[in-house]
Structure 1
Amino acid sequence: MSIQSAGLFIAFEGGDGAGKSTQAARLSETLESRGLNVLRTREPGGTPIGEKLRSLVLDHGHGTIDARTEALMFAAARAAHTHQVIRPALKNGTVVITDRYIDSSVAYQGIGRGLGAEGVSTLNHWATEGLHPDLTVLLDVDPAHGRQRRTAGDASEDRLESEPDAFHSAIRHAFLDLAEANPSRYLVLAADDDMGTLAAQILARVDSLLSELAPREHVPGGCP
């Protein structure tokens, strides 16, 4: 039985190869071990239509995808994800942890593709009916380091990952600008720090938020 009284929405953001999935999984496992209801999801994806759109927008071999079409595909997947998955889970008191959310579209399509941050933000505000995370964890990674991480071994890059370092550098600065503009919602961490240290810092911030949802003595301590 969950010990929380209200849902909590956490998004992990950052450049490709930042380690978002790893940290999202560690946080999810820790919170579940405490008895909290946790939903870990991703974007684009999280729903059947979202997963199909994910394949179309990220996999190679689907022909040319112009910037506006790309932005609309991400927004469509996010609309389904928010309406069908995230909002119902939050209503039931679940901690929702998503690998990417609106800020990725603002960074990648708004800045990286040159569509403009304001326009892409407005589109996604409409698609999600204004739902924003309680906390956004930004794992800041140098583009070259990120590429080295994601191509380790036999791993291949998807359509966005394979963009040049200049594109990924613009993405990085876009994320940092978003965090600077809204520091109360963001936790910015260096992605190349020790994984255990990162996990502990993230958990400490989440604990602070959980303490606002339930009496502190009802939220056990501990690190992953």
Structure 2
Amino acid sequence: MFISFEGIDGCGKSTQSRHLAERLGSRGQPVVWTREPGGSPGAEEIRRLLVEGAPGRWSAETELLLFTAARRDHLERLIDPALARGDWVITDRFADSTRVYQGATRGDLRATVDRLHSLMIGREPDLTLVLDVDPEAALSRGLARRSGEDRFEDFGLPFQHKLRAGFRALARDLPGRVHLIDGSGTPEDVAARVDAILAVHGAEA
């Protein structure tokens, strides 16, 4: 399976996606954990352009092109080969982030995002798990990391509220693939909720 984790900045998706990959690997399932933007050498180079620097560094349109270029390289060099081998792929973000961040939040670009995705990517995850958390708590957590990759956090709290609304809308619009998960509580609490969704889809970890 190809599973993506989504959500606002600081929601815990990186932790939960890694934990899922570890749980799958512990039972002998070949699994690849990856992230976006990034996941392949070329995409990691583009990542630095996107997540570092001032918030106004790029327009939403330029971001869309950069994200799509990174995703195409990621798909060609890591995701498609792994799935062809029969590995599971667990990714921290995929195209739904672009649909929300550039398509619905920073500009009215959703139709453009979907068209470009159809032309250049043409693949969706089998299952997408959106971790839903309070934006104020998530932003505090994200900024506390001081990772140097804070460009989107620096757009501020109103932006994070818009992101949350965008991800919730995706879950409403695509209920067969996109599932909203309460991201509050301990990492173990959230992991149990993740496993419950996987069990419904016959993909127990």
TM-score tier (shorter): over 0.9
**What are the Cα deviations for residues 95-127 of structure 1, in whole angstroms up to 9, with x where unaligned?**
100000001001000111113212112212222
**2:95 matched residue in structure 1:** 102
Q: Does 1:175 align with 2:167?
A: yes
**2:179 matched residue in structure 1:** 187
Identity of aligned residues (%): 41
CA distance in structure 2 between the partners assigned to 1:58 and 1:118 by the alignment: 24
* 8 Å CA contact retained: 1:67, 1:113: yes
Q: CA deviation at 1:187?
A: 2.1
- The letter of the residue matching 2:141 is R
Q: Does 1:10 align with 2:7?
A: no
CA distance in structure 2 between the partners assigned to 1:153 and 1:71 by the alignment: 26
* 8 Å CA contact retained: 1:10, 1:133: yes
CA distance in structure 2 between the partners assigned to 1:61 and 1:186 by the alignment: 31
Aligned length in residues: 205
Q: CA deviation at 1:154?
A: 5.0
CA distance in structure 1 between the partners assigned to 2:192 and 2:158 by the alignment: 32
SS at match of 2:144: coil
Q: CA deviation at 1:10?
A: 0.2
- The letter of the residue matching 2:157 is D
**2:16 matched residue in structure 1:** 23
Closer/same/farther in 2, CA of residues 115 and 30 from structure 1, 3 Å limit: same
Q: CA deviation at 1:192?
A: 1.4
SS at match of 1:15: coil
Q: CA deviation at 1:153?
A: 6.3
SS at match of 2:37: coil
Q: CA deviation at 1:40?
A: 0.2
- The letter of the residue matching 2:92 is D
Q: CA deviation at 1:173?
A: 0.6
What is the correspondence of 1:130-149 to structure 2 with a 5 Å cutoff? 130-149=122-141
Q: What runs of 5+ residues in structure 1 fail to find an aligned partner? A: 1-7, 212-220
Q: Does 1:198 align with 2:190?
A: yes
- The letter of the residue matching 1:96 is V
- TM-align CA RMSD: 2.0
- The letter of the residue matching 1:134 is D
Closer/same/farther in 2, CA of residues 153 and 77 from structure 1, 3 Å limit: closer
**What are the Cα deviations for residues 49-73 of structure 1, in whole angstroms up to 9, with x where unaligned?**
1001000111116983122111100
**Larger displacement relative to structure 2 (92-101 or 196-205):** 196-205
Q: CA deviation at 1:82?
A: 1.0
- The letter of the residue matching 1:142 is D
Q: What runs of 5+ residues in structure 2 fail to find an aligned partner? A: none
Q: CA deviation at 1:156?
A: 5.3
CA distance in structure 1 between the partners assigned to 2:145 and 2:61 by the alignment: 34
**1:217 matched residue in structure 2:** none
Q: CA deviation at 1:171?
A: 1.0
Q: CA deviation at 1:206?
A: 2.5
CA distance in structure 2 between the partners assigned to 1:51 and 1:115 by the alignment: 27
- The letter of the residue matching 2:17 is A
CA distance in structure 2 between the partners assigned to 1:45 and 1:72 by the alignment: 14
**2:66 matched residue in structure 1:** 73
Q: Which runs of 4+ in 1 moved over 3 A?
A: 153-157, 207-211
